[in-house]
Amino acid sequence: MKIACQEGLAPGDSLEERLERLAEWGYEGIEFWGGGLKDRLPHIQSALKNSPVRASTICAGFRGCPLDADPKERELALSDIKDLLYAGADLGAVGLIFVPIFGGPRIPNLSPLGSPEQMEKDLLCLLLEDLCKTAEKAGCLLLLEPLNRYETHLIRRLEQAVEICQRVNHPHLKIMADFFHMSIEEANLPAAIQTTGSLIAHVHLADSNRLLPGQGHTDFKSGFDALKAIGYTGYMALECGIAGDPLQKLPECAQFLKGQMA
């Protein structure tokens, strides 16, 4: 397994300086925010050529909402997602992290035809069938991310993401497992990882308080053992706050994570 860090967490006045520090501290990947990424591609590609750190993933950053009641919002989201899948491929990233909806439902309750959640899932699967064709053509995975109950109403546990993946049944649709969200929603974090198995293609790391791993009380070792048990060898990217000086805390976190993986 390889540790990565979101670009915005790494200190430095330039991408080149951030990459240099991450490499020095033992990070192997960097995760980019999708917003504005298309315009930055040449610069990022140039910086990565001179660094051992690789692009792990792209984290969302698309406009609109795939499950909005307004077709224009859905179309905007789909257009941006497709562009970001190609951008991810250009960077050699594993995939694009995809959250279908934040907050509550945006479509009306049309019972008895179906609850908003049922209709959202049906719509999501239809949209994913189209998006997965683009993902396959681009050569970049679409990574479905469950969030916690305070951030979304729809997909909150790994098993719910598995249900969507099984319905769509496409090799370019996988799951992103986030330790922070899992610490809230999963009854047994290691068991949830093992049940999800090979559908996990990326991991986010944050402690129970959404700070750096080691700054809360999450049991990372048991989670890492579960990832090893399913044969996971991919990136695990930091997505969290930092209590303290990043110049000190980020190298300490890298050593903590490597110790937990050992």
Q: How confident is the model at residue 243 (pLDDT cuts 50, 70, 90)?
A: very high
Q: What pairing do the DSSP bridges indicate for beta strands 29-33 and 200-205? A: unpaired
Q: What is the pLDDT of residues 181-211, one digit of tens each?
A: 999 999 999 999 999 999 999 999 999 999 9
The answer to whether the peptide bond before residue 251 is cis (omega within 30 degrees of 0) is: no
> For the chain, what's the residue count?
262
Residue 113 is predicted with a pLDDT of 84
Residues with Cβ within 8 Å of 105's Cβ and at least 6 positions away in sequence, in order, are: 67, 116, 117, 120, 153, 154
- Domains of the chain as residue ranges with CATH: 2-261 (3.20.20.150)
Where do the DSSP E strands lie in the chain?
A: 2-6, 29-33, 54-59, 95-98, 141-144, 173-178, 200-205, 235-238
Q: What is the mean pLDDT of residues 9-29?
A: 98
Q: Is the pLDDT of residue 109 over 90?
A: no
From residue 219, give the alpha-carbon distance in Å to each of 180, 188, 192, 201, 226: 11, 11, 14, 21, 12
Q: What is the mean pLDDT of residues 121-136?
A: 98
Predicted structure pTM score: 0.97
Q: What is the pLDDT of residues 48-105, one digit of tens each?
A: 999 999 999 999 999 999 999 999 999 999 999 999 999 999 999 999 999 999 999 9
Weakest-pLDDT range from 10-24, 97-111, 133-147, 196-210:
97-111
Count Cβ atoms below 10 Å from residue 153 Cβ, excluding itself: 15
